[in-house]
A = this chain, B = another copy of it.
Amino acid sequence: MATYARPVERLITELSKLPTIGPKSAQRIAFHIIRGRPDDARALADALREVKERIGPCRRCFNLTEAEECGICTDVRRDSSVLCVVEDPYDIGPIERTGEYRGLYHVLGGALSPLDGIEPEDLRIAELVERVGREGVKEVVIATNPNTTGEATALFIAHELKDMPVRVTALASGLPVGGDLEYADEVTLGRAFAGRREI
C-alpha cells in the first residue's frame, strides 16, 4: 500500500520529474499545495498549460515568444548591427541583467556535441550565417557556455563566418571554466562582455 492517497502520490511523482526537485522537496511542495488555497494550485496549473500552448520560437532570433517576433527583436532602441549568439533562450536573461549589451540575439538551440549526436545541422547555425548576410550584421559576439561543447561550437561558428565582412568575438574568459552561463553572476558576466576578444 502506498503511504499517501493516489492523487497525492501522483503529484509527488510528477513534481519529482522536474530538475532541482528531489523526492523530499517534491513531497514538501505537494503538501504545501494540498494545504494551500485552490486558486494557487489553479494558477500554477494554468501557467503550465499556457506556457505550452502559447510559447514558440521567435522567427528571427529563436528566443521564446508568444508573438511572431520576440520583444528584443521588435525593440527599435536595440542595436541590430550586433548579434549575441547563445545556446539557449535562458542564457538571454543573465546577459540582459548585466546591462552591458544592447544588441540582438541568436539562439542556437544547444551546442555541438558529436558524441550526443548534435551536429551543426541540428543547431540554428545556417540560419545565423544567412541572417548575418541578410541583416548586414557588423559584429557577432559568441556567448556559448565556457565548456568543451560551447567552445567547440564557438570555433565552428567563427570558421563559418570567417569569409564574411563581420567581426566575430567571444566573451572573455573570467567565466569559470566548466561552469554554466545560466548561473553566472552579473558582475562576472558584465566583465566578460567588456573584455570580449577576437577569435
A residues lining the B interface (CB < 8 Å): 1-8, 10-11, 13-15, 17-21, 24-25, 27-34, 38, 40-52, 54-55, 64-67, 70-71, 75, 88-90, 92-93, 96-97, 182-183
6 further A-B pairs in the complex, CB-CB below 8 A; given A7-B47, A11-B51, A48-B48: A1-B75, A7-B55, A28-B182, A30-B51, A31-B88, A42-B49
Checking B41, B67, B97, B183 against A51 with a beta-carbon cut-off of 8 angstroms, the contacting residue is B41
Instruction: Report chain B residues within 8 Å CB of A50.
Output: 7, 10-11
Instruction: Say yes or no: A51-B33 contact (C-beta < 8 A), given A5-B70, A27-B93, A44-B14.
Output: yes
Q: Is the interface of A mostly helix, strand, loop or mixed?
A: helix
* CB pair A51 B8 closer than 8 Å: yes
Smallest distance from the beta carbon of A97 to chain B beta carbons, Å? 7
Complex Cα–Cα for A40 and B13 (A): 11
User: What would be 16 A-B contacts, judged by CB atoms less than 8 Å apart?
Assistant: A1-B75, A3-B93, A4-B64, A4-B93, A5-B65, A7-B55, A10-B51, A13-B47, A18-B44, A21-B21, A21-B25, A28-B182, A34-B52, A34-B64, A41-B48, A45-B45
* CB pair B49 A45 closer than 8 Å: yes
